[in-house]
Amino acid sequence: MGGEAETAGGKGKHDRHEAASDSAGPGAEGCVLHGQFGWGEIVVTGLVTFVMLGIEEIGVEIEDPFGVDDNDLPLEAFCATIERDLRGVGEA
């Protein structure tokens, strides 16, 4: 019970921590870059934030490929093909 990584909502503790750091990171980055880029820091922070959140979203999408979403693997088709092939081997 104490070692469970999943919460009631289905997200693990790591996901909550990662979401918090993704939202806090750009704010800290802005403070660091202000002396180097001046007002251009807003653009740099926006671009870095966009890339980081994009990488996070890609990770979420490929984390569980065995579901019923449009971009998940077609497991039913895979299983039907395997079953058909095995029945063909059994008959031969």
Residue 2 lies in a domain: no
Residue 6 lies in a domain: no
Say how far apart CA 83 and CA 75 lie, in whole Å: 12
Residue 36 lies in a domain: yes
Residue 22 lies in a domain: yes
Show the domain range for 33.
13-91
Q: What pLDDT digit, counting tens, does each position of 26-48 carry?
A: 666 666 666 777 777 888 888 88
Residue 26 lies in a domain: yes
Helices (H), 38-74: 41-63
3-class SS of residue 68: coil
Q: What pLDDT digit, counting tens, does each position of 35-89 carry?
A: 777 777 888 888 888 998 889 888 888 888 887 888 788 888 999 999 999 998 8
3-class SS of residue 69: coil
Cβ contact 15:26 at 8 Å: no
Residue 4 lies in a domain: no
Half-sphere exposure of 10 (CA within 13 A, CB side): 3
